[in-house]
Structure 1
Amino acid sequence: MTEPLVRVAGAALAYRDRRVLDAVDLVLDAGEILALLGPNGAGKTSLMRLIAGRLAPQAGTVRVGGHDPFRVRSARRGIGWVPQEIALYPRLTVAENLGVFAQLAGLGRRERTGAVAEAMALTDVAEAAGRPVGLLSGGYQRRVNIAASLMCKPGLVLLDEPTQGVDLTARAAIHAVLGRLRQEGTAILIATHDFAEAERLADRAAFMAAGRIVREGTLADMLAELRQGVPEREVALTLPAGPAADQALRHAGFAPSHSPLVWRAAPGVGRVLDGADLLDALRAQAVPACEVRVRAPGLEALYLDALAGDPAALRAAGAAR
């Protein structure tokens, strides 16, 4: 059996006596994309920092290519780290920025030109090579941010919310970059709050809450199992439910979800009405319902189910949406 490119076993980490990672196990194969999902404070970024070799676990082990990335410099050279923040020099051009990162990565003068050109081609930013980064759109800056991590042709790229705050066109361009990386056999670990993004890109998903991975598996298998049941139903409200509306919603089989304006029915629970009839029935009971959504369950349903046993994590998930 082939050893995975990344293996995290029993990893634990605490900051100032507050445990942020607790007995985390995770594997990632070459050429695979794993989406890491969880509310703010779940431990996603801390786990990625362990894998990047920026931190050492206080218990357990982290191995990338069989080596400890915190202690082995050559292992870190094979890892591309793309933080959530734009880590670029705004007054330098795209090419100058990448030249700086190539130098920081230890590439010699002759190697840098080729590495910069390859990274710009892969991320499709070559046309902006001579423009200062600070004058580029947010989407372009995020692609250059990714390009800066590719100087040593890493076999593993870690991305923390790479499409946060960009428009749909920029998002599609970033997804295309990740698709090209995967075609080249690069393993990708991506932390995201975007369920559609994770469904589109990922082979597997891992859900985190309170420093633990609470569910993990192949995305296709988890969704196929979930979709064997009845469709997912949600009620969207125009304002939070008062006592009477709260009682009516609960009687119909709904419970508060990630937001006080969204109530969700567990599959198979409650009266089975089509969307229009359910909307009429709830409005007749003075529920301020504006929409009933009936759809095949998706990644968001898996996420909410995974966090259902942790009310604090579920509230945090709603706040992050």
Structure 2
Amino acid sequence: MTPDPAATVRDLAFSYRNRRVLDRVDLVFARGETVALLGPNGAGKTSLMRLLAGRLVPERGSVRVAGGDPGRSSAVRRAIAWVPQEVALYPRLTVRENLEVFARLLGLPRAARAPAVARALTRTGLDDVASRLVGVLSGGYQRRANIAAALLGEPALVLLDEPTQGVDQAARAAIHAVLERLPETGAALLVATHDFAEAERLAGRVLVLQDGRIRLDGRLADLLARLRAGPPEHEVALAEAAGPAAAAALRQAGFHPASPLVWQTDRRAGDTVAGGRDGAALLAHLRRHGVPVREIRVREPGLDVLYRDVTAGEPPADLRPVEAVA
């Protein structure tokens, strides 16, 4: 017998200041699954999460979490953990004191508070800093404490908005370790992120939201397998530095800047890059134009390629990225 879903969204529409933010959104979140929510700024990701949390009321359609309407029932809202980008803790209280305060605000019975606080500390790996003031902790520890506060009520649905924004690599890994274990509690996790590597590590399913509509919804493993089905004839170029001349050479070779230091291009099987150059010729071309490239190596495409393909309005295809790090 299939268990009831953690949450369902049916024909959801929402407008803000006469602008349609979400339209015709249908989703089901199973218990114990982690879903990555991707989309450009303004796509409607935060509005969708606020509707799921019961903080906004839909213009049309329905939202159900654990069988009830979060917009109408405080009991249903207690089954939802909302972890915003901003750390919402009391900096002059210890981690444990913060959790005790939030346990009371959540309405947990007195006898249930101490066990709930102990479970939340253990799940987030915060036992060693439970007696420290939140205000003196690093950003990574503060974010874990924020997650711990959200878990006090044993939620059916956990909503996380950019959970690792602004933290270093060690803190990011620690937060990921916490989130990877949460589905074991039976909760569904919806993680809004701009970090493709984070989405690939945490999620078994991916949603891409654009212009208020779901453009892609599928199992990550299936989507990537489909994307990687072609022959591995695609290179990754790593460049040590780039000035104006190097940037011009990279553009001539079919690259575009993906970040201040990273250049890349996508091509389909049979497409040409830099006038049909193979990897060795491409390497020589870039070096002749002042791009000190160390190597050309093969890389399989990831979620970033799939995302760009979908948000560009093209159907997913057999793509491979060619990437230059300058």
Q: How does 1:26-105 map to 2 (within 5 A)?
A: 26-105=27-106
The alignment partner of 1:13 has SS state of strand
Task: Please name the residue that 1:158 is paired with.
Answer: 159
Q: How does 1:9-20 map to 2 (within 5 A)?
A: 9-20=10-21
Task: Give me the whole-angstrom Cα distance separating, in 1, the residues matched to 2:307 and 2:109.
Answer: 45
User: TM-score, normalised on structure 1?
Assistant: 0.86
Deviation at 1:210? Answer: 1.8
Task: Please name the residue that 1:225 is paired with.
Answer: 226
The alignment partner of 2:55 has SS state of coil
Deviation at 1:163? Answer: 0.8
Task: Please name the residue that 1:297 is paired with.
Answer: 301
The alignment partner of 2:111 has SS state of helix
| Greater shift in the superposed pair: 155-164 or 58-67 | 58-67
Is residue 130 of structure 1 aligned with residue 115 of structure 2?
no
Seq. identity, %: 57
Is residue 180 of structure 1 aligned with residue 181 of structure 2?
yes
Q: How does 1:195-210 map to 2 (within 5 A)?
A: 195-210=196-211
Rate the CA distance shift 1:31–1:244 in 2: closer, same or farther, 3 A: closer
Task: Please name the residue that 2:322 is paired with.
Answer: none
Give CA-to-partner distance per residue, 1:122-155, whole Å, 9 cap, x none.
Answer: 1111111111100001110010000010111112
User: TM-score, normalised on structure 2?
Assistant: 0.85
Give CA-to-partner distance per residue, 1:5-57, whole Å, 9 cap, x none.
Answer: 21112211121112221222222100000000112221111111111111111
Task: Give me the whole-angstrom Cα distance separating, in 2, the residues matched to 1:169 and 1:277.
Answer: 39
Deviation at 1:287? Answer: 7.9
Alignment counterpart, residue 252 of structure 2, candidates 236, 248, 263? 248
Task: Give me the whole-angstrom Cα distance separating, in 1, the residues matched to 2:10 and 2:29.
Answer: 12
Task: Give me the whole-angstrom Cα distance separating, in 2, the residues matched to 1:308 and 1:256.
Answer: 15
The alignment partner of 2:268 has SS state of coil
Task: Give me the whole-angstrom Cα distance separating, in 1, the residues matched to 2:139 and 2:114.
Answer: 25
Deviation at 1:65? Answer: 2.0
Rate the CA distance shift 1:247–1:140 in 2: closer, same or farther, 3 A: closer
**Structure 1 unmatched ranges of 5 or more:** 311-321
Task: Give me the whole-angstrom Cα distance separating, in 1, the residues matched to 2:213 and 2:238.
Answer: 31
Task: Please name the residue that 1:281 is paired with.
Answer: 285
Rate the CA distance shift 1:209–1:242 in 2: closer, same or farther, 3 A: farther
Task: Please name the residue that 2:194 is paired with.
Answer: 193
The alignment partner of 2:9 has SS state of strand
* Maintained 8 Å contact 2:8/2:27: yes
Deviation at 1:239? Answer: 4.7
Task: Please name the residue that 1:306 is paired with.
Answer: 310
* Maintained 8 Å contact 2:246/2:291: no
Task: Give me the whole-angstrom Cα distance separating, in 2, the residues matched to 1:128 and 1:99.
Answer: 15
Rate the CA distance shift 1:127–1:282 in 2: closer, same or farther, 3 A: closer
The alignment partner of 1:86 has SS state of coil
* Maintained 8 Å contact 1:275/1:294: no
Deviation at 1:116? Answer: 0.9
The alignment partner of 1:84 has SS state of coil
* Maintained 8 Å contact 2:250/2:286: no
Task: Give me the whole-angstrom Cα distance separating, in 1, the residues matched to 2:5 and 2:198.
Answer: 24
| Greater shift in the superposed pair: 151-160 or 254-263 | 254-263
Flag as ranges the 4+ runs of structure 1 deviating above 6 A: 240-244
* Maintained 8 Å contact 1:65/1:75: yes
Task: Give me the whole-angstrom Cα distance separating, in 2, the residues matched to 1:82 and 1:243.
Answer: 40
Give CA-to-partner distance per residue, 1:229-254, whole Å, 9 cap, x none.
Answer: 244556678256899758733xxxx3
Task: Give me the whole-angstrom Cα distance separating, in 2, the residues matched to 1:91 and 1:279.
Answer: 56
Rate the CA distance shift 1:11–1:241 in 2: closer, same or farther, 3 A: farther
The alignment partner of 1:266 has SS state of strand
Rate the CA distance shift 1:194–1:141 in 2: closer, same or farther, 3 A: same
Give CA-to-partner distance per residue, 1:248-276, whole Å, 9 cap, x none.
Answer: 33xxxx36464586241322221564434
Task: Please name the residue that 2:272 is paired with.
Answer: 270
Q: How many residues align?
A: 305
* Maintained 8 Å contact 2:286/2:293: no
